């Protein structure tokens, strides 16, 4: 019997060797993943990455607009759960890498002229002076209703989207978040767009795609939305990711403006604390200007500008901002009122950014 077993082992020695090596490699992988997870929970990896110069690795990965640490998270996805519930880290995925590589070559097939522009770039400059058909807003779905009598700007100048699309206002909906649905922040974003277009003649695009069906992947999904927004609206000058704040009591969630209760506005700007983002101060400067303009016209409406460690897709545009309009303890109507005042400040800023293009 022993002879027969040895004979079988000898006959299948190469297959057994492969099985053994596969088992060893799988064991090492899971040990490494577990070690990285516990190091991340202890905060050791983030401190090490912040204190180490990753010049060579940064050169190799900066083209993808991702952070080197994201490679580790891709190998061990469980590490994506190691952060703040409101601020999951960015994660590299094969899809996001391909998206970044193909972005310069993508064509908007809903606008056939864009195909010509890609082939003959000189024509794009010529066509800037020609009137083009109006692009649909809200992610390509135009809203029904009467045409606005205000003459709109030729180009779409403001873009709006929502990373945490399900965030809503408890005084209206009774809950803090709608899973897989569009919450009150989408109503607020719609109010900003409608005010820009109907009152100031500024064409805006509002993309209300649900990005947080899987909450930990919300920023990876919203990056796709933001890239699409910018690709389909090449002249956008300001892009807003509209959220609502959390964890504040009612008395810190209301501002009185002209006798009306409104939701406070807070700007969040990402930095290069975790990941390469050399131009983040451009976004910060713009947030400060917008905050000052709001408070000069509506004292107390803006509660400031906060710099945080994530990038929040702001590396995609120098005037991309994360805006928190109100908190959980507001109503949707209070946030909508604040959104309309924000639209006025945006219109005034655009007069200086693109003189002559604002009707």
pTM of the shown model: 0.65
The tokens describing 306, both together, are 């906060």
Taking the C-alpha atoms of residue 114 and residue 127, their distance in angstroms, rounded to an integer, is 10
Say if residues 210 and 182 touch (Cβ distance below 8 Å). Answer: yes
Say if residues 153 and 197 touch (Cβ distance below 8 Å). Answer: no
Taking the C-alpha atoms of residue 261 and residue 186, their distance in angstroms, rounded to an integer, is 20
> Are 170 and 69 in the same domain?
no
Backbone angles phi, psi at 187, to 5 degrees: -60, -40
Question: Has residue 129 been placed in a domain?
Answer: no
Which helix (H) or strand (E) is 238 found in, with range?
strand 238-245
> Are 171 and 246 in the same domain?
yes
**What is the residue whose two structure tokens read 């003189």?**
355
The tokens describing 84, both together, are 């703040």
pLDDT per residue, tens digit, the chain (359 aa), is 566 666 666 666 667 777 877 888 888 888 888 887 777 666 555 444 444 443 334 333 333 333 344 444 334 444 433 344 445 444 444 554 555 455 455 554 445 555 555 455 445 444 433 333 333 344 444 444 454 467 899 999 999 999 999 999 999 999 999 999 999 999 999 999 999 999 999 999 999 999 999 999 999 999 999 999 999 999 999 999 999 999 899 999 999 999 999 999 999 999 999 999 999 999 999 999 999 999 999 999 999 999 999 999 999 999 999 999 999 999 999 999 999 999 999 999 999 999 988 88
Taking the C-alpha atoms of residue 22 and residue 17, their distance in angstroms, rounded to an integer, is 9
**Residue at which a domain ends, from 100, 122, 156:** 100
> Are 66 and 152 in the same domain?
no
**Residue from 165, 162, 331, 157 nearest 242 by CA:** 162
Q: How many domains is the chain built from?
A: 2
**Residue at which a domain ends, from 100, 129, 153:** 100
Range of the domain at 174: 137-353
Measure the N-to-C terminal CA separation of the chain; round to a whole number of Å. 93
> Are 94 and 144 in the same domain?
no
């Amino acid at each position: 019997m022993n002879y027969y077993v040895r004979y079988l082992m000898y006959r299948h020695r190469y297959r057994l060797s492969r099985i053994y090596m596969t088992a060893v490699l799988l064991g090492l992988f899971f040990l490494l993943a577990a070690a990285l997870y516990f190091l991340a929970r202890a905060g050791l990896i983030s401190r090490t990455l912040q204190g180490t110069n990753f010049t060579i690795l940064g050169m190799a990965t900066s083209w993808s607009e991702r952070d080197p640490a994201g490679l580790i998270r891709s190998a061990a996805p469980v590490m994506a759960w190691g952060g703040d519930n409101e601020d999951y880290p960015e994660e590299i995925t094969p899809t996001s890498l391909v998206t970044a590589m193909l972005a310069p070559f993508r064509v908007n097939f809903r606008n056939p002229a864009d195909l010509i522009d890609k082939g003959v770039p000189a024509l794009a400059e010529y066509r800037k002076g020609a009137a083009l058909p109006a692009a649909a807003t809200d992610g390509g779905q135009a809203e029904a209703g009467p045409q606005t009598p205000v003459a709109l700007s030729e180009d779409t100048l403001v873009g709006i989207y929502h990373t945490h699309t399900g965030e809503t206002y408890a005084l209206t909906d009774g809950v803090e978040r709608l899973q897989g649905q569009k919450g009150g922040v989408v109503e607020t974003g719609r109010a900003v767009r409608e005010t820009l277009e109907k009152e100031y003649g500024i064409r805006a695009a509002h993309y209300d795609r649900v990005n947080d069906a899987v909450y930990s992947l919300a920023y990876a999904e919203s990056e796709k939305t933001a890239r699409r927004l910018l690709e389909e609206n090449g002249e956008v000058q300001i892009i807003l990711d509209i959220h609502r704040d959390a964890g504040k009591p009612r008395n810190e969630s209301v501002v009185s403006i002209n006798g009306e209760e409104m939701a406070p506005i807070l700007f969040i700007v990402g930095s290069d604390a975790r990941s390469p983002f050399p131009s983040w101060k451009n976004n910060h400067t713009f947030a400060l200007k917008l905050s000052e303009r709001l408070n000069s016209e509506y004292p107390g409406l803006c509660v400031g500008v906060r710099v945080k460690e994530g990038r929040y897709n702001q590396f995609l545009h120098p005037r991309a901002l994360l805006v928190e309009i109100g908190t959980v303890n507001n109503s949707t109507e209070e946030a909508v009122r604040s959104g309309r005042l924000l639209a006025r400040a945006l219109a005034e800023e655009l007069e200086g950014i693109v003189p002559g293009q604002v009707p």
